[in-house]
Amino acid sequence: MSSVVLITGAATGIGNLTARALAAAGHTVYASMRDVRGRNAARAEELLALGRREGHDLRVVELDVQSEASAEAAVATVLGEAGRLDTVVHNAGHLYVGYVEAFTPEDIQRLLDINVLGIQRVNRAALPHLRSRGSGTLVYVGSTTSVVVPPFLGPYVASKFAADALAQVTAYEVGQLGIETTVVMPGPFTQGTEHFPNAGRAHDDERTRAYAALDPMVARNEEATEGLFPPGVDAHPRAVAEEIVRVLALPAGTRPFRTVVDFSQAGVEEVNEVLRRAQEDFVTRLGFGELLHVRTAPAQGTP
């Protein structure tokens, strides 16, 4: 069944690939990005031209996840044009590479603003509509870094931990109003995204120089990551887009809460299963076991 999907951070990488894949699967897709008439104008036009050429319902909408007004305006545009919104794919994010001490509080604040508060802004814009319908799906593009905790990505890993926690606790609550949640956890990718080339760096150069003995490790970080992939495996982020297409094709009420797309053989699925059992046991013993299951009928009295 086709749905109306809003994707954040769709100018490049996983978001862009997901927009293309979902549109090809028959969904109405709003690929959102910042500055669609400026620096992302060519990327926006490329997606629009693809939609025209292939006969896909692929649209572009302005959305800066660092602006509450922008998030509200984007959702209003979707509702005004399509009449409904079924799915939000939270994909927008930024990467920092460097030594934790060298990142100023302002550096980390900016990253959290994009990777965590950006999710909250978009959810607050979209959830009133999803709640009023008693249905919908929130898809979060998370990260296996919140399990494996790689070095030299400290603020990024912290932001992914925070985003994952926000997604999980939100899921308890919105699930009682008929809204499903899936957290897609990509492993590392060294091709097909602009994550590493566009990564932010720490602004305190003096503190960075204090860790110069570790610079050779940082320099071979991408090479080391590629060494985790089995020989002959095409570790490309299109696999994440394909997984999101698969999840949204599943019948409502059957979508997994977590799914992992990882070519590095990090054992994240096994860790997730241990955590799931512990968390479900804890929530159940609290007496809140119903929060672990999505209600298929809308709750009464929802505004």
Q: How many CA atoms lie within 13 A of 139 on its CB side?
A: 30
Q: Would you state the structure tokens that stand for residue 148, as one six-digit string?
A: 């494996």
Phi, psi of 88 (to 5 degrees): -115, 125
Amino acid identity, position 297: A
Q: Would you state the structure tokens that stand for residue 43, as one six-digit string?
A: 């990327």
- SS3 of 153-219: the string is EHHHHHHHHHHHHHHHHHHHHHHCCCEEEEEEEECCCCCCCCCCCCCECCCCHHHHHCCHHHHHHHH
Distance between alpha carbon 86 and the CA centroid of its chain, in Å?
A: 16
State the CB neighbour count (10 A cutoff) for residue 240: 27
Please give the angle made by the CA atoms of 262, 265 and 267, to the nearest 5 degrees: 95
Q: Would you state the structure tokens that stand for residue 263, as one six-digit string?
A: 């070519």
Amino acid identity, position 65: V
- SS3 of 34-76: the string is CCCCCCCHHHHHHHHHHHHHHCCCEEEEECCCCCHHHHHHHHH
Say whether 96 is catalytic.
Answer: no
Query: Annotated catalytic residue: which of 99, 140, 156, 172?
Result: 156
What are the Cα distances from residue 91, in Å, to 65, 227, 230, 288? 10, 26, 26, 30
Contact between 186 and 83 (Cβ < 8 Å): no
Sign of the torsion angle spanned by Cα atoms 73, 76, 80, 84 = positive
The set of catalytic residues is: 156
